[in-house]
Amino acid sequence: MTRPEPAIHPASTPGLEDVVAADTVLSMVDGVAGRLVIRGHDLAALAGWRFEDLLALLWRDFLPGDPGADEIGQRLGAARLHIFETLSPALLAGTDGLSPVEALRLMLASLPDSHAGDHAVTAVAAAGVYAAAIHRLRKGEDVPAPDPAASHAADILAMIHGGPVEQEKADALDAYLVTVADHGLNASTFTARVIASTRAGLFSSVTGALCALKGPLHGGAPGPVLDMLDAIGRHGKISDWIAAELERGERLMGFGHRIYRVRDPRADALKRALGKLGDPTGRLAFAEEVEREALRQLAQRRPDRRLETNVEFFTALILEAVGFDRDSFTNVFAAGRMAGWTAHVREQERANRLIRPKSRYTGPMPESAGN
């Protein structure tokens, strides 16, 4: 008896690198030019926008000041209050012993499924309120009620700090949320679209997206960026510490990207926002020195593969500066990226086709008795 050969299929594309899997009007990432366009606007042109304005742009193509954009802001405030009022003690108790991102996963998964057109605003409100509530609960503090009249960024900060914060901090968080709101077909957004394509519903789609986001190769990197800065500790150790990490085959968090072959434009947007805030933690000069040395050693070791600073490096600095603990960074990332996830789920649902690629079988075939 002989084993027949498996049928020949074209070679697979590990990591789906360079595969174009969706048409979208939402964002374009040009990794060679280092350009991010969000629905017709260069990232740099969005400086000074509030997160609500970006939501209105992504969801409805409204510009700041359009009555429709104002209405989205009002609905978002009302939804934050609704989410807060329906926080159940049983659900909060269920997060005991979980990491912040696992707690957020549990809380998002508890929301009943619907379609993106109906409840996208609830999803965005929920991500912000839950991230703030989880932050408070981990410190053993009660969760203050949101203020529907405040901006989303100012309200999240007021919730984590237990009272209103300086406008500069709210502006910095707005800059962060706007900068990370959407970014092409990254792993978590793709996950959201795959789940939406099965018609599973909005909250299943964004909960799945969060699961993809939490890994260190995607949205789990900024906490470890601060760990790295702390582990290096002082100026004199930078070069040796980085060399030893790379020698051991470790990846430096906050560097490298699947698409960008130049500096991630979001890194500069966040660095500018941090500069405006006045660098309250005093880490910027040290971090910049680490960045310069990391880029020098990466270029030396990998002349064939340009590895540049990505968004997560300055994410760590800006989120720490506005008052988040490092283990909450991924949840704040999710609060911003929820804008993109919900917009992509809407886009997918509007012109849906089940996403179902093929695999190439490379295992043995059953023996056929006739041979």
R_g of the chain computed on alpha carbons? 22
Q: Residues 278, 305, 367, 368: which binds ligand ACO (CB under 6 A)?
A: 305
Choose the stretch contacting ligand ACO; rule: CB under 6 A; options: 82-90, 279-287, 306-314, 344-352.
306-314
Contacts for 8 with CB less than 8 Å, ≥ 6 apart? none
Q: From the CB of residue 333, how many other CB atoms can be counted at a distance below 10 Å?
A: 29
Q: Dihedral of CA 135/141/142/145: which sign?
A: negative
> By the 8 A CB rule, do 121 and 74 touch?
no
User: What residues from 265 to 304 belong to the interface with ligand ACO (CB under 6 A)?
Assistant: 302
Helices (H), 162-283: 167-179, 187-197, 202-213, 222-232, 238-247, 265-277
Does residue 221 belong to the site contacting ligand ACO (CB under 6 A)? yes
- The verdict on 217 binding ligand ACO (CB under 6 A) reads yes
> Mask 311-350, x = binds ligand ACO (CB under 6 A)?
xx--------------------------------------
Known catalytic residue: 308? no
Tell me how far, at minimum, the Cβ of 300 lies from ligand ACO, in Å: 12
Query: According to CB under 6 A, which residues from 236 to 255 bind ligand ACO?
Result: 251-255
Q: Which of 258, 272, 306, 326 binds ligand ACO (CB under 6 A)?
A: 258
Q: Looking at 135, 152, 183, 257, which residue is catalytic?
A: 257
Q: Which of 126, 162, 161, 180 is closest to 322 using CA atoms?
A: 161
The yes-or-no answer on residue 82 being catalytic is no
How many residues in the shown chain lie near ligand ACO by CB under 6 A? 20
- CA torsion, points 72, 75, 77, 81, in degrees to nearest 10? -160
Residues in Cβ contact with 172 at an 8 Å cutoff, skipping those fewer than 6 apart: 273, 274, 276, 277, 318, 321, 322
3-state secondary structure of 368: coil
Q: How far is CA 183 from CA 48, 103, 207, 239, 305, in A?
A: 19, 25, 18, 32, 22
Give me the residue whose beta carbon is nearest to ligand ACO: 256
Q: Is residue 310 a contact point for ligand ACO (CB under 6 A)?
A: yes
Residue 35 CB, nearest distance to ligand ACO (Å)?
16
Instruction: Please identify, among the stretches 102-110, 210-218, 274-282, 324-332, the one whose residues bind ligand ACO according to the rule CB under 6 A.
Output: 210-218
Q: Catalytic amino acids?
A: 257, 312
- Site for ligand ACO, rule CB under 6 A: 15, 216-219, 221, 251-258, 302, 305, 307, 310-312
